[in-house]
Structure 1
């Protein structure tokens, strides 16, 4: 019996060898040495999909019209939802605009009311001060000394001559191509601590009363930052900042010789922030807001100790 040649029977096709033509020869693109045992990499490249996945894909192609219809319906539903959302936004836009305008109007109305109440409070404060001074004089007291104390603490109106210190942020450099401001220069910006330094330097120079943008500074005033704004007694102030002080004639010279003034002159020269000092006459500072005072209660006197009680003093032992 003649032995079967390789490729003659089905056993060789199942062995993973390359396909052959009618003459039993391997195709020309088969690599040498792979005609009889096969090559795993070649098999992977030629048949990259598992037969099970191939069968599933073939089966799915039979339902292609239904899959396309489902995708069309899904896209239509998404488009419908977007259209409804857009119409809702457009319909609500007038209501949103009206709500914003109403909010702005309420803020302006409340601000006007607050300004009027503050003016009324200032008038009532003057009336109370007048009646108090009259009562002090009738009682033989020194009303002028009381007014001086109010001026020092910021609770009384002050008039007089002094100086005005003006500081402001440096101008942002502009892009030569676009003309738009570049990134903000933090070294040329005025911070809350800068205003604190100037106010303390003015007190050192002999100031009797100080204001920042017409807001009176008292012993309980806070100067702090909140976000990007500077607050003076919880009220925002904008630059350029005007720090005015009433005091003696030599106050300007003393202030300009302080380390704080020298530091700000150097900062203005180096980073471009604004800093200036000028004389000002006949200034009037309103009183600061009424502080929230805390009432103190007297501490009860302790009971006398036995060692100091007269009833327990040894007989004949006192001196």
Structure 2
């Protein structure tokens, strides 16, 4: 039994060595032997090769023509979409300017109708400031968050130029909200993000690659301006867990993060939206008997 095992092992080893040194299949060698060393090529070999080359060339030409025939149409569609986006942006900017102008006229008319002095005028001004309906200027703190530099394309030759999905966005709406909430807690009186004024009803959400503030898209870098006592804001924000977290992310993942005091910050007024459901209650006159 031991002799048979040794014989089987030697035969297996010989087969492996022969497979490495002579990888050609035996069927090819037998066919070549039948044809002989001086066998003439078959009559249909060259026509078959020519026909195959002709078919491949025809397929390549058809693919080239179809690709370049659709290119002008695709370029026209792309240009049309770009023009529509630019037109919508111009219209949005025009409507926002009109809203700001009408809001200023409303404030002027309201101010002229009220007494020039008194608690009512001060209460109205304070309420408008809290609601974000008036532009404000004052000292405060500026905080900046930014995505890290774009990663280099992957080295995988099968997917040249691709970028991992997880590397496209590190910052999201949660990051903007955490900074804003911390500044509110530190005593900020008014806040804007990328020149969009926040109000008590503002919503910060995430959609695709953009952060939405009251349905207005903003993109990185995110600049948060908060009006308040600069020293108190800077001291409280620097000691917060929010600042510590983003300082760690700046070192670990390369995001941009920084904050600085400013003696003069200008925040625009919010265009304002009418409530969808809440309406002022009209008092009914009491009946007298």
Fold agreement, TM-score > 0.5: yes
The answer on whether the counterparts of 2:140 and 2:228 sit within 8 Å (CA) in structure 1 is yes
Query: Displacement, 1:272?
Result: 2.6
For residue 235 of structure 2, the aligned residue among 253, 257, 280 is 253
For residue 183 of structure 2, the aligned residue among 182, 196, 202 is 202
CA–CA distance in structure 1, aligned partners of residues 166 and 67 of structure 2: 39
**Number of equivalences:** 223
TM-score, normalised to structure 1, is 0.60
Q: Which has the higher contact order (CA 8 A, sep 6+)?
A: 2
Query: Displacement, 1:211?
Result: 0.8
Q: Is 2:104 the counterpart of 1:126?
A: yes
Query: Structure 1's 139 and 240: CA in aligned 2 closer, same or farther, altered over 3 A?
Result: closer
Deviation larger for 220-229 or 202-211 = 220-229
2:208 alignment partner in structure 1:
227
Note the alpha carbon deviations across 1:146-190, whole angstroms, 9 max, x for none.
111111122221111111001122335658989x89746659821
CA–CA distance in structure 2, aligned partners of residues 99 and 173 of structure 1: 30
For residue 113 of structure 1, the aligned residue among 91, 104, 108 is 91
Query: Structure 1's 99 and 195: CA in aligned 2 closer, same or farther, altered over 3 A?
Result: same
Note the alpha carbon deviations across 1:119-158, whole angstroms, 9 max, x for none.
1210111111011012121696622221111111222211
1:217 alignment partner in structure 2:
198
Query: Displacement, 1:292?
Result: 3.0
What is the alpha-carbon root mean square deviation over aligned residues? 3.6
Query: Structure 1's 91 and 174: CA in aligned 2 closer, same or farther, altered over 3 A?
Result: closer
The answer on whether the counterparts of 2:100 and 2:271 sit within 8 Å (CA) in structure 1 is no
1:287 alignment partner in structure 2:
269
Query: Structure 1's 94 and 268: CA in aligned 2 closer, same or farther, altered over 3 A?
Result: closer
Q: 1:231 aligns to what SS in structure 2?
A: strand
CA–CA distance in structure 1, aligned partners of residues 110 and 280 of structure 2: 24
The answer on whether the counterparts of 2:190 and 2:226 sit within 8 Å (CA) in structure 1 is yes
Structure 1 segments unaligned to the other structure (5+ residues)? 1-71, 302-319
Q: Is 2:137 the counterpart of 1:159?
A: yes
Query: Structure 1's 233 and 89: CA in aligned 2 closer, same or farther, altered over 3 A?
Result: same
Query: If each structure's helix is expressed as a fraction of its own residues, which one has the higher value?
Result: 2
Query: Structure 1's 300 and 207: CA in aligned 2 closer, same or farther, altered over 3 A?
Result: closer
Bigger CA radius of gyration? 1
The answer on whether the counterparts of 1:230 and 1:237 sit within 8 Å (CA) in structure 2 is yes
1:69 alignment partner in structure 2:
none
Note the alpha carbon deviations across 1:82-129, whole angstroms, 9 max, x for none.
94x875664454333223212211221221122122112101111110
The answer on whether the counterparts of 2:139 and 2:227 sit within 8 Å (CA) in structure 1 is yes
Note the alpha carbon deviations across 1:52-83, whole angstroms, 9 max, x for none.
xxxxxxxxxxxxxxxxxxxx9xx99xx79x94
TM-score, normalised to structure 2, is 0.66
Q: 1:137 aligns to what SS in structure 2?
A: coil
* Correspondence list, 1:122-201, <5 A: 122-137=100-115, 142-171=120-149, 174=152, 183=164, 189-201=170-182
Query: Structure 1's 156 and 99: CA in aligned 2 closer, same or farther, altered over 3 A?
Result: same
